[in-house]
Structure 1
Amino acid sequence: MSVNKQIAQELLEAVGGKDNISSVAHCATRLRLIIIDEKKINQERVEKIEKVKGAFFHAGQFQVIFGTGTVNQIYEEVEKFDINSTSKQEQAKEAAKKGSKFQRAIRTFGDVFVPIIPVLVATGLFMGVRGLVMQEEILAIFGLSPVDISENFLLFTEILTDTAFIFLPALVAWSTFRVFGGTPIIGIVLGLMLVSPSLPNAWGVATGEDPLMFFGFIPVVGYQGSVLPAFIAGIIGAKLERMIRKRVPEALDLILTPFLTLLIMIVASLFMIGPIFHLIEGYILDGTLYILSFPFGLAGLFIGFFNQIIVITGVHHIFNLLEIKLLESTGSNPFNAIVTSSVAAQGGAALAVGLKTKSKKLKALAYPSTLSAFLGITEPAIFGINLRYVKPFIMGLIGGGAGGFVAALLDLKGTGMAVTVIPGTLLYLNGQVISYLFVNLVAIGVAFVLTWLFGFSDKQLKENG
């Protein structure tokens, strides 16, 4: 029997058998189980299984942390035991009966935006690489200067870096329709209508071009890079489509349902939803920029300290909207440098635990968790190490605040989003990489030293099991 198959079997036994599992899904790091009878779970046994880095209940799901890559392999083995596997979206609906309204709202928000993040990550990396190759120092190595770069090459790089943001409403509307039970292709078309070349370009209007005026007072523009109008239109559109489909004869459904949905929604989007929520987006951006403008590094101190507390709750997905809007509006993302400090700091705290403990099992857990944090994923470090022993987590928060403080003082800004620490280096190749590395070292160093001196001793092993 393979190691992963053995782990899957032990896990099923520890949660009360496969008959106690309603469904199973997984994300980037966690196996997510919907449990029928939570009392049958042997939490201690689960956490002692090889490769398990922690386990906890959240959002109506029993989530077992395995880490990137490993979770896919364990999921495949669990599926072989004839467990009802589902998509995360299907399982989210099943779990929606549990948790507060706020938790359910945040979970839904995450379900919409998480699938979009990979292309925004790729776009951010493209921006980082372009920033690197266009630096005079780098071009000089090859005997070139900026004036030697052809317009065709610049056009090619713009295709890589601008496309995702130009058509962002289509991505948002697609994902929102998918989550709220509509037909995704209708969502895509609705989103594309919002950025139709027949409309005045949003960025052109922002720089002086006149919008189309309807009825003398409704400004109509394209919504390139906008999030909220497409998100709200997607929610309403998906519900409208389902309502129309219930009332249209089956013989006419293929024709009338998409026709009426798109007609009603594009009118509502351009004349009501778009203008109203575009204005709200502006206020959100202004508020964010106001917080980030706090002097003396206070914004970085505040955000860097509290970010990982927010991660525990799962509410951190709500900041995707802010980061997307910052990138679209300002071309940079000061949030990323601050957040990367909080991520790196949790890795520093876990590393201190791993080096200080004499427990081979804890070392074997701490080192991979540290690496995972340095690659941008803190769940293994938080739930497997730091939060379990409490003080390392607190020291990690302090380290995150210290790193965020320095990042804000240095006015560090990423060219993309969603990647941090080591992978995030690519977002700072536009002349900021030294400052970025320094900020990470500050966060890791403060968290490591505090954890080593005050945050952990092997006495806690007996107290915490």
Structure 2
Amino acid sequence: MSYSMIAEEIVGSLGGADNIVSVAHCATRLRVMVADENKIDKKRIEDTEKVKGAFFNSGQYQIIFGTGTVNRVFEAIEGLKLTVANKDQQRKAAEKQGTAFQRAIRTFGDVFVPIIPALVATGLFMGLRGLLMQEEILGLFGLTPETIPQNFVLYTQILTDTAFIFLPALIAWSAARVFGGTPLIGLVLGMMLVSPALPNAWLVASGELDPLMFFGFIPVLGYQGSVIPAFIAGMIGAKLERRIRNIVPEALDLVATPFLTLLIMITASLFVIGPIFHWLELVILSATQFMLDLPFGLSGILIGGFQQIVVMTGVHHIFNLLEIQLLTNTGANEFNAIITAAIAAQGAACLAVGLKTKDTKLKALAMPSSLSAFLGITEPALYGVNLRFFKPFIMGLIGGAVGGFFAVMFGLKATGMAITVIPGALLYLNGQMLGYLAVNAIAIATAFTLTWMFGYSDKMLDK
């Protein structure tokens, strides 16, 4: 079946062009908003060639095709002259759908997802530095930790520290963009929060510097590495900018709007928003650390066992906030290895189905879907195979819990975030590679064995 035929089949299954409000896509999914959900022929969609699953989430009907394929299907749908939309347009159309909690988490995702590539690169730089700083590696070049040229150390610090030093600027920029403000004003506001004129947050935390005290009780300092204060400042700044723009005369807009926005917001950020939400940030960090430090590997069991259920609810972007906080405050990310175990286990369950089944269509679906999971993307395996037969999904959850337990017991800590399983190995070049590989092997072996023995048989195809 050609991509144009697949596009026509999808449109027909969605109730025709008149039922389609808009179409967009991400890395793996076609995201469709429809006028009437009851007109969708869901079984027909799931039986369409190259479709690996479909489900409703965040006000959108999401059809999983996988990387590469989704781009071609989207191009074919564009050729049908339907209404297409970018992700920002769809976000605005869907922002009133779902519960208040779902909308809040979706907003977190809209703000944090665009800055993740910068943090991924930084994490990889940290991993490479950890590898190069090991005595065995230095010995190959006739060096020791004491004889490393300082210029080289400075170079590595530029690579690994810059994104976190200016993290508030990145977050304020993204928040301003999401909440309808001018991104550049948000960027400048975020840069003001880390101005070198302010006492450095990390030096204040270590006791080397004292914060500036205003009115005898308000501590003022820089917010290097902070997340929530920059998010709140960017959000409020965007709303304030729009309010000011509606008030000032058009002739003064270019000068008055950015001037008043930045003046009001940096004052509010340093004296009110910063102190209050930095305290809240520390509370969340302490709660996160408490959860990760639960005895007997309980945190690994709970997170590894339930992480993919959280993915199904669409609120998994909360992990982005927690991982960023851990990286900026401790320099390590304990969530990554646990989440990796959960993802690898679902891939292994899907692989077991693909190898065990004699159904050629299911085999053709399961095998590439498991590979996608081993590269860190579980949706094809999750919605195309494991949830369809349910038992493989449960076996995957068990495998994730077992792998998560060992991730905690081995004390694994990633140098970055957002990449897992095979690509995620690059975050463990700091001497933890063997432990990381062992955790993946344990999660995969557990989920694969349980699925092969108890989780799937071709009799399920008849139900």
Deviates more, 1:284-293 or 1:132-141: 132-141
Amino acid at match of 1:437: L
Distance in 2 of aligned mates of 1:128 and 1:18:
49
The runs of 4+ residues in structure 1 deviating greater than 6 Å are none
Amino acid at match of 1:75: F
Distance in 2 of aligned mates of 1:232 and 1:448:
44
> For 1:34, what is the secondary structure of its paired residue?
strand
Distance of aligned partners of 1:143 and 1:77 in 2 relative to their CA distance in 1, 3 Å threshold: farther
Aligned to 2:39: 40
> For 1:200, what is the secondary structure of its paired residue?
coil
Q: CA deviation at 1:40?
A: 2.0
Aligned to 1:211: 211
> Does 1:332 find its partner at 2:322?
no
Amino acid at match of 1:141: L
> Does 1:380 find its partner at 2:380?
yes
Distance of aligned partners of 1:149 and 1:78 in 2 relative to their CA distance in 1, 3 Å threshold: farther
Aligned to 2:30: 31
Q: Give CA deviations for 1:398-452 in whole Å, capped at 9, x if unaligned.
A: 0000000001011111010111100000000111000000000010110111111
Q: When the two structures are superposed, what TM-score results if normalisation uses the length of structure 1?
A: 0.97
Distance in 2 of aligned mates of 1:216 and 1:395:
58
> For 2:30, what is the secondary structure of its paired residue?
strand
Q: Give CA deviations for 1:349-395 in whole Å, capped at 9, x if unaligned.
A: 00111011111111111011101110011111110111111111011
Aligned to 2:452: 452
Q: CA deviation at 1:148?
A: 4.0
Answer whether contact 1:18 1:81 (CA < 8 A) is retained.
Answer: no
Q: CA deviation at 1:87?
A: 2.1
Q: CA deviation at 1:99?
A: 1.5
Q: Give CA deviations for 1:232-274 in whole Å, capped at 9, x if unaligned.
A: 1111111111111111111111111111111110000000000
> For 2:316, what is the secondary structure of its paired residue?
helix
> Does 1:437 find its partner at 2:418?
no
Aligned to 1:420: 420
Q: Give CA deviations for 1:78-129 in whole Å, capped at 9, x if unaligned.
A: 2222222222122011012322222111111111111111111111111111
Q: CA deviation at 1:22?
A: 1.1
Aligned to 1:161: 160
Distance in 2 of aligned mates of 1:380 and 1:295:
34
Q: CA deviation at 1:160?
A: 1.2
For these two proteins, the number of residue pairs brought into alignment is: 462
> Does 1:300 find its partner at 2:276?
no
Distance in 1 of aligned mates of 2:150 and 2:82:
55
Distance in 2 of aligned mates of 1:359 and 1:138:
49
Amino acid at match of 1:215: F
> Does 1:314 find its partner at 2:314?
yes
Aligned to 1:362: 362
Q: CA deviation at 1:152?
A: 1.5
Aligned to 1:129: 128
> For 1:376, what is the secondary structure of its paired residue?
coil
Distance in 2 of aligned mates of 1:148 and 1:444:
42
Please show how residues 182-331 of structure 1 align to structure 2 within 5 Å: 182-208=181-207, 209-331=209-331
Amino acid at match of 1:130: R
> For 1:23, what is the secondary structure of its paired residue?
strand
Please show how residues 21-170 of structure 1 align to structure 2 within 5 Å: 21-170=20-169
Deviates more, 1:54-63 or 1:151-160: 151-160
Aligned to 2:409: 409
Q: CA deviation at 1:143?
A: 3.7
Q: CA deviation at 1:33?
A: 0.6
Q: CA deviation at 1:188?
A: 0.5
Amino acid at match of 1:120: L
RMSD between aligned residues: 1.2
Unaligned runs of 5+ in 2: none
Amino acid at match of 2:425: T
Aligned to 1:14: 13
Aligned to 2:348: 348
Amino acid at match of 2:302: F
> For 1:324, what is the secondary structure of its paired residue?
helix
Q: CA deviation at 1:39?
A: 2.1
Amino acid at match of 2:122: T
Deviates more, 1:77-86 or 1:37-46: 77-86
Answer whether contact 1:174 1:191 (CA < 8 A) is retained.
Answer: yes
Q: CA deviation at 1:332?
A: 0.5
> For 2:22, what is the secondary structure of its paired residue?
strand
Answer whether contact 1:195 1:222 (CA < 8 A) is retained.
Answer: yes
Aligned to 1:171: 170
Q: Give CA deviations for 1:34-84 in whole Å, capped at 9, x if unaligned.
A: 112222211111112222110111111010111122222222222222222
Q: When the two structures are superposed, what TM-score results if normalisation uses the length of structure 2?
A: 0.98
Distance in 2 of aligned mates of 1:411 and 1:87:
41
> For 2:81, what is the secondary structure of its paired residue?
coil
Q: CA deviation at 1:144?
A: 3.4
Aligned to 2:389: 389
> For 2:389, what is the secondary structure of its paired residue?
coil
Answer whether contact 1:199 1:221 (CA < 8 A) is retained.
Answer: yes
Distance of aligned partners of 1:146 and 1:69 in 2 relative to their CA distance in 1, 3 Å threshold: farther
